[in-house]
């Protein structure tokens, strides 16, 4: 007998032809948490472990059709937003979210790939700030992305703590600022602020460059929210999960970056 209809997580993001990030990483993270994954492809990338060679965005009307199809047939517990390449796409996603009103939105403001390739058009930054940040339950920028959102450098731990306050003032419910890009050889610290509590999630710094870490973190948070965890616990568990996936990472391509092992826990 089929089981009762599960709560689903929806990713609206870009496709990574190399399988390590984007939609592909999101669906693997959902599956690893026992959550049924849905997807609406907001961008197509020609990508591998050495970089991004081309990006193509579908018509906004087709993206909206994908999103509507998911909400029309499935119980969506959380939405994860990833690569949204231009303002037209961002406005289409915001319109859809305002119409469907999902219980939780995890925004990974993808602007720069691990390889350094820029993935967000300049004109889209204002649209992201104005339309998507107010809809987000939590936003999960890395340091370069936070610098773009705020318009200034974040050079050290003290600046990162100050940036949390600035980011929270942009309008979203909570911020999880990833600390992997900050210099240092000790623990890697991700900082969380929801306006009521300031938390730090520490993990040993691993000496390797991982592909898809940001996508996987945001997807793990969304999956944990689907499973009923409070936001703070969802974020804490997601950082633990990504650390383990990075610790067990492997290199399927010729590039120096490693791909996360999303299914490390069952083994």
133-167 pLDDT, tens per residue?
999 999 999 999 999 899 999 988 889 999 999 99
Summarised one tens digit per residue, pLDDT across range 29-53 is 999 999 999 999 999 999 888 888 8
Residue 1 lies in a domain: no
CA-CA distances (angstroms) from residue 23 to 35, 219, 256? 15, 10, 21
Residue 18 lies in a domain: yes
Residue 265 lies in a domain: no
Residue 48 lies in a domain: yes
- Asked whether the predicted pLDDT for residue 85 surpasses 80, the reply is yes
- Which token pair is 49? 């472990």
How many domains does the chain divide into?
A: 1
Please state, in angstroms and rounded to a whole number, the distance separating the CA atoms of residues 244 and 253. Answer: 21
Residue 266 lies in a domain: no
Residue 264 lies in a domain: no
Summarised one tens digit per residue, pLDDT across range 201-255 is 999 988 888 889 999 999 999 999 999 999 999 999 999 999 999 999 999 988 8
Domain holding 79: CATH number?
A: 3.40.1190.20
Residue 103 lies in a domain: yes
What b-and-e string marks burial along 192-216, b requiring 16 or more CB atoms within 10 Å of the CB? bbbeeeeeebebebeeebbbbbbbb
- Asked whether the predicted pLDDT for residue 117 surpasses 80, the reply is no
Q: Considering the entire predicted model, what is its pTM?
A: 0.94
Strand stretches in the chain, DSSP E? 8-16, 36-48, 51-56, 76-81, 105-107, 138-139, 175-177, 187-193, 198-204, 210-211, 258-259
The confidence band for 78, taking pLDDT boundaries of 50, 70 and 90, is very high
The confidence band for 262, taking pLDDT boundaries of 50, 70 and 90, is very high
Number of helical (H) and strand (E) elements in the chain, helices listed first: 8, 11
Q: How many CB atoms lie under 10 A from the CB of residue 3?
A: 5
The confidence band for 69, taking pLDDT boundaries of 50, 70 and 90, is very high
- Asked whether the predicted pLDDT for residue 11 surpasses 70, the reply is yes
The confidence band for 120, taking pLDDT boundaries of 50, 70 and 90, is low
Q: What is the pLDDT of residue 122?
A: 73
Q: Could you tell me the residue range of the domain that residue 98 belongs to?
A: 8-259
The confidence band for 187, taking pLDDT boundaries of 50, 70 and 90, is confident
CA-CA distances (angstroms) from residue 89 to 12, 50, 61, 63, 92? 10, 26, 9, 8, 5
The confidence band for 263, taking pLDDT boundaries of 50, 70 and 90, is very high
Lowest mean pLDDT across 24-28, 53-57, 69-73, 137-141:
53-57
Residues 6+ apart with CB under 8 A from 118: 111, 112
Residue 236 lies in a domain: yes
């Amino acid at each position: 007998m089929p089981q009762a209809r599960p709560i689903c997580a929806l990713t609206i993001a870009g496709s990574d032809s190399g399988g390590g990030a984007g939609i592909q990483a999101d669906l693997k993270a959902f599956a690893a948490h026992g959550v049924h994954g849905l997807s609406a492809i907001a961008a197509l990338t020609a990508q591998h472990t050495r970089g991004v060679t081309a990006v193509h965005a579908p018509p906004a009307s087709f993206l909206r059709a994908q999103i509507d199809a998911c909400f029309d047939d499935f119980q969506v517990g959380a939405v994860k937003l990833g690569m949204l390449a231009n303002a037209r796409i961002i406005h289409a996603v915001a319109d859809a979210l305002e119409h469907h009103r999902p219980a939780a939105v995890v925004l990974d403001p993808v602007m720069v790939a691990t390889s350094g390739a820029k993935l967000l058009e300049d004109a889209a930054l204002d649209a992201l700030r104005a339309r998507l940040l107010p809809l987000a339950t939590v936003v999960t920028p890395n340091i370069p992305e936070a610098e773009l959102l705020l318009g200034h450098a974040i050079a050290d731990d003290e600046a990162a703590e100050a940036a949390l306050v600035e980011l929270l003032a942009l309008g979203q419910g909570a911020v999880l600022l990833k600390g992997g890009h900050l210099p240092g050889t000790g623990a890697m610290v991700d900082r969380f602020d929801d306006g009521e509590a300031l938390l730090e999630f520490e993990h040993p710094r691993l000496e390797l460059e991982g592909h898809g870490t940001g996508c996987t973190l945001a997807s793990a948070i969304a999956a944990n929210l689907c499973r009923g965890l409070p936001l703070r616990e969802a974020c804490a568990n997601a950082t633990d999960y990504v650390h383990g996936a990075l610790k067990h990472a492997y290199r399927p391509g010729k590039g120096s970056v490693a791909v996360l092992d999303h299914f490390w826990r069952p083994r």
